[in-house]
Structure 1
Amino acid sequence: MAAQETGSVSNACLCVLCGLPAAGKSTLARKIFSTAAQSGWRVTVVPYDDLIPERAFRIRAEEESSVKLQEMHTEWKLHRQAVLLCIEQFLMNPEVPQSSSLINSTAWEQCIQALQPHGLKADHAPLLFLLDDNFYYPSMRYEVCQLARKRLLGFCQVYLQCDRESCISRNQSRCQPIPTEVIEEMVKRLESPNPQKNSWEKNSISLNAADSLSECDFQRVMDLISSALSNPLSPAEDNTEQKEADRLKCANSVVHQADQACRRLVSEAMKTAKENQSQPEHMRSLAAQLNESKATFLHDLRKQVLQEVPYIEEDTNVEHIVKKAIEIFEEKKNEILSRTISEHK
């Protein structure tokens, strides 16, 4: 087991709070904060919505509406990684101020202020980071797990399961509600923790947050965190070559299946155009646009899979990846088809 750096923090835990917007993550975080602080722990809430600039949220929305899947993740991931980097820098040397141009410095300073030691024994008190975000993709959560492994920290996850209607209703009663379509889109994207599929998610619990959480639910959360603090993760073995082979195998499988599905969608589009009595030259133009779009889509999909797969420890759900990807291509196909038909009527 690697030794901790001089001055680094020990006996610490990273707790991921994930779920749909308005599922109750922030409310739970405040209750954990209060209870942990009363127990003498040093605890802080890391609210991603406050730390990541609004501009980044707009960029993400614009990029996710396009077919360029690779670019879709790049800038958004940089901001998220900056949050984890500041946490890591604090863990390595709490006395040195952390900063990043990619996150809100004022919000980060507020996070750190909550961790300042009070009293003679505070330096040795358990340290708890409550990461408050949707964390809708496993890859987002796995980055937190990787940090915990690297720094020998406790790691756990609390998933607040709440139905779409309840989240939308709660959101509408907020002072600053987010657009309903954001929640609708999140419902489609969210992949909850799955310990059976991902062994690194074994320290996870799921709570029904449609109603108020019970004291029993809250006690489960505190027991989970206490267990994680007592059982820090250790660095994973280096199996780089096997991971590389798995990534390539997964990418090839995803692209092959996506290619077959895209071909069917292109054929359906051509049939629709023919039924609308499109002229031969318009049919040729449509075919060229669809095939060019398909080629770009598959190229970017392969790059995305190669980028995202490293977080997987067990077999990747190829069918799920293909399904999500094809939904994006189908939207692009419909857009091209509708435009072509309307232009040549």
Structure 2
Amino acid sequence: MKSIMRFIIVSLIGIPASGKSTISMKIHKLSKENLLNTNVIVLNFDKLIQIDFENITDGDYKKSREVCFNKIENLIGKLKTEMISNWMTIIASNELKIPQNSISLSSENPMTLLIIDDNMYYRSMRQRTRQICRACDCKHFQIFMKSSLADAIARNSKRCSNVGNAVIEKMFNDLEEPQNPRTIFMEIENFDEGKFLAELKDRIDNPEVLTEEHQKEPREQSIIHEMDLITRKEIGSKMQEAKGKKKMKEYSEKLNLMRKTFMEDVRSGKMIFETAEDLRDEFRKFIDAD
């Protein structure tokens, strides 16, 4: 008798070099070693769509991700109708071209984790995954790889194919942390395999309820963009003033954390300014007050 296959999509969230690919392969390893009673298919977006973060435009990035998501939805539909013994043939013929070393399958496992290794630093980027879950009758949970900017940049410098520091800094500043209570929060520096395995098993048994992540009505995007540029310029000025007087890396990270907090209040509508000059003055007071 054919087993009813069940799928859970696992969304990885975090800036480049925060440990997402490392954690996805740890899950793959747990499956291979039969410590996790599931199949695992890792979908690394950087490899699947060959993202050039330095040169790609926002429009091209969105189109590339949407194409990838459509292929994922198509793949799930095909896998659901086939015996697991035929899966490798189906995966090999799928346009995603998933590397074989990213797949762990066992005929004994009726549960499959599809791990989406993507940055997903905006809440809006995570909603597409939930749409697939609803369309394909899949469960879902998230893993947020928390990292400081300095640690991510240091790890990035050691990678064979690294991302520009400016890209990492922008994503760090723009990152909207997940709010769903079923999200697993992880720091790769403090990885504890036993604790992580227990959390995985808990989320597999009790995944998240598929609701939209709460967010307030966004401000007009063109205005937000202008305000974002103003605060970045003020950070640049503060850094110039501090040259030779402070530990620049730590000071930069501190200022950018403050800028992130400030801009979250602006985006949510908690802080409203009539003019750009009002925003600039208030931001100067905010960073000078520390």
TM-score scaled to structure 1, two decimals? 0.54
Aligned mates of 2:25, 2:103 — CA distance in 1: 12
Which position in structure 2 is the counterpart of 1:278? none
Q: 1:152 aligns with which of 121, 137, 149?
A: 137
How far the C-alpha of 1:172 sits from its partner, in A, is 1.1
Number of paired residues? 224
TM-score scaled to structure 2, two decimals? 0.64
Q: 5 Å matches for 1:209-220?
A: 209=188, 211-220=189-198
Aligned mates of 2:49, 2:157 — CA distance in 1: 23
Q: Check the 8 A contact 2:16/2:156 in 1, yes or no.
A: yes
Cα distance change, pair 222–208 in 1 and its aligned pair in 2 (3 A): same
How far the C-alpha of 1:18 sits from its partner, in A, is 1.3
- For 2:47, the aligned partner's letter is D
Structure 1: gaps of 5 or more residues: 1-6, 61-71, 100-104, 196-201, 237-246, 266-316, 331-345
Q: 2:67 aligns with which of 70, 77, 82?
A: 82
Which position in structure 2 is the counterpart of 1:42? 39
How far the C-alpha of 1:56 sits from its partner, in A, is 7.4
Q: Check the 8 A contact 1:257/1:322 in 2, yes or no.
A: no
Which position in structure 2 is the counterpart of 1:309? none
Q: 2:158 aligns with which of 168, 173, 178?
A: 173
Name the Cα RMSD after superposition.
4.0
Which position in structure 2 is the counterpart of 1:139? 124
Aligned mates of 1:23, 1:256 — CA distance in 2: 27
Query: Max radius of gyration: which structure?
Result: 1
Q: Which runs of 4+ in 1 moved over 6 A?
A: none
Q: For residues 295-318 of structure 1, give each alpha carbon's deviation from its aligned partner in whole angstroms, at most 9, with x where no partner exists.
A: xxxxxxxxxxxxxxxxxxxxxx88
Cα distance change, pair 160–255 in 1 and its aligned pair in 2 (3 A): closer
SS at match of 1:93: helix
- For 1:205, the aligned partner's letter is I
Q: 5 Å matches for 1:314-325?
A: 319-320=266-267
Which position in structure 2 is the counterpart of 1:337? none
How far the C-alpha of 1:48 sits from its partner, in A, is 0.7
Q: 5 Å matches for 1:39-118?
A: 39=34, 41-54=38-51, 58-60=55-57, 72=58, 74-94=59-79, 97-99=93-95, 105=96, 108-110=97-99, 114=103, 118=106
* Residue identity (%): 23
Structure 2: gaps of 5 or more residues: 83-89, 231-263, 277-290
Q: Which of the two has greater helix per residue?
A: 1
Aligned mates of 1:190, 1:256 — CA distance in 2: 16
How far the C-alpha of 1:177 sits from its partner, in A, is 2.3
- For 1:165, the aligned partner's letter is A
Aligned mates of 2:169, 2:197 — CA distance in 1: 31
Which position in structure 1 is the counterpart of 2:236? none
Which position in structure 2 is the counterpart of 1:14? 9
Q: Check the 8 A contact 2:9/2:116 in 1, yes or no.
A: yes
